[in-house]
Structure 1
Amino acid sequence: MTTMDAAQTIRDRIADVTALRHQRTADPGLGSGVGRVKTLQARRFRGTYADLMGSPSFGPAAKFFLEELYSDSDYAARDQQFGRIAGTLQTMFPAAVVATAVALAVLHAQTEELDQAMGHHWTGSVASPAAAVAEPGIARQDAADAARYVAAWRAVGQRAQRELQLQRVLAMGTDLARLTRTPGLRMMLRMMRAPAHAAGMGALQQFLEAGFDTFGQLARQRGGVEQFLATIEAREHALMAALFDADRVTCETQLARTLGQAR
């Protein structure tokens, strides 16, 4: 991908995200629905990876994924920076870093599109919390949220897009680990901290430094990156299979139990 293509891709994807955000602003009900979906997904991630989050070896990487890829945070400020400085990325960062920034913008836009589709169905549906009947020990609110989430997921569908989203998440981890093997890059990032902030690239700089340090630490453990990403891939595939194909009550019960583990 040429520098011009990279810059335009970032601008286009950020424009897509901004348009979705404007739709949510114009429709408070949709905005609330998307917010509920994002909050539930972040809780689900914490529940699914509670063991990794508490691990000295994998905890930092799991926390990075939660905060940067599975979070319910508002990334509006980061998006504005990305869109504004897309054309000057190549003057401050190596090609491999620019490629990672492009991949992040593409993943972000895809995630927002899927979350918005989920938000539409969340707002317009009230699912019966079958999991509360199947397993009384589950909190009723977790059961109700799980039921609505499963209903929205199945209404949206898009299995191929969900698979692509997961592959992009895994590729992001692989790319960050690869960057840690670039000679002198960590020193370069440290030296660029002040110029990057002055140029309005603080959010990208923070993402790169956090990703570099997190996956650098993981890469120093023999097979650490591969084990971490394999765990993410296996668990996310299992979750997707349940959300698409499992008996509804079984799926809702499993999801509600996972939400409870994040309390």
Structure 2
Amino acid sequence: MAQAIIKHIHRVNALRDLALKLNIMPLIHALQEWQCERLLVSHDDLAQQARYQKAMAFFVEELYGPKDFSQRDADLARVIPKLAKVLPDKAMNAMDDALSLNALSFNLDMDMAQYLNTHYPNAPITRDTYAEAYRSIGRQDDRQHQIDIISHLGDQLADVVKIPGIGMLIKLSRRPAKLAGVLALHEFLERGFNAFKAIGDVQCFIQPVLEREKALMHNLFEPTLSLPDDNPLPHV
């Protein structure tokens, strides 16, 4: 498991290096910001509920947004063998899902950014240019896999928050993590645990998100879809 997690980190690092060479990193960040805003619009009813706000923020800010994850990833690559010895398997599985999701999402975002850079250079991202790029790059199997990872991650997180003593373990490890120079990683783990602990029934949050994202994906890939008139994306 530790090696799989490190592999996800190396994959993202390689993609970031390539994006920097292609000079499309600013566009990737703009795309990620647009996607985060779209997610918040699509799931506004969930985002407005107090018990779901931390979980929504965690997905948007820690797994899917334009935040610089380089320090967290460097921390993780350095200490993951030790973490694998002390964290429960379900926690390691959740971490693997999170890093796998991050790597796949960045790869898809990079393809989208390259399309937009070629066809709409220096233009702001809109729901219509986004839908066109989404359909043009294809990769429907990868989009489905992205949703499947979120589903599995939700299952793992639902189990992790029920593990006796896991909250105390994370809390007590904050000072050692700071002394070891891996505070960014600890804060990521702590925010994730607190976010999903606050929900109660994790599936009540995850399932509506999955259903809506699946429906949106299928609508965007519908062969008879006519853009821009039938664009299923919300106004952002």
TM-score past 0.5 threshold = yes
**Aligned amino acid, residue 203 of structure 1:** A
* Counterpart Cα distance in 2 of 1:165 and 1:251: 24
Cα separation, partners in 2 of 1:118 and 1:225, compared to 1, 3 Å: same
Cα separation, partners in 2 of 1:46 and 1:250, compared to 1, 3 Å: same
Is this contact kept in 2: 1:170–1:229, CA < 8 A?
Answer: yes
Do structure 1's residue 26 and structure 2's residue 21 form an aligned pair? yes
Equivalent position of 2:98 in the other structure: 104
List aligned pairs for 1:175-186, cutoff 5 A: 175-186=156-167
In the comparison of the two structures, how many residue pairs are matched? 233
Q: SS of the residue aligned with 2:126?
A: helix
| Deviation at residue 251 of structure 1 after TM alignment | 4.2
Q: Structure 1: which 5+ residue stretches go unaligned?
A: 1-5, 130-140
Equivalent position of 1:17 in the other structure: 12
Q: Structure 2: which 5+ residue stretches go unaligned?
A: none
Q: Which runs of structure 1 show a deviation greater than 4 angstroms over 4 or more consecutive aligned residues?
A: none
- RMSD across aligned positions (CA): 2.1
Is this contact kept in 1: 2:36–2:60, CA < 8 A?
Answer: yes
Q: 2:132 aligns with which of 151, 173, 179?
A: 151
Equivalent position of 1:218 in the other structure: 199
With 151-160 and 205-214 compared, the bigger mean Cα shift is at 205-214
Larger Rg: 1
* Counterpart Cα distance in 2 of 1:77 and 1:250: 43
Q: 2:226 aligns with which of 247, 256, 262?
A: 247
Equivalent position of 1:228 in the other structure: 205
Do structure 1's residue 53 and structure 2's residue 47 form an aligned pair? yes
* Counterpart Cα distance in 2 of 1:163 and 1:97: 23
Is this contact kept in 2: 1:48–1:258, CA < 8 A?
Answer: no
**Aligned amino acid, residue 244 of structure 1:** F
* Counterpart Cα distance in 1 of 2:74 and 2:229: 42
Provide TM-score, normalisation by structure 1: 0.81
Identical columns (%): 28
With 64-73 and 41-50 compared, the bigger mean Cα shift is at 64-73
Is this contact kept in 2: 1:243–1:251, CA < 8 A?
Answer: no
Provide TM-score, normalisation by structure 2: 0.90
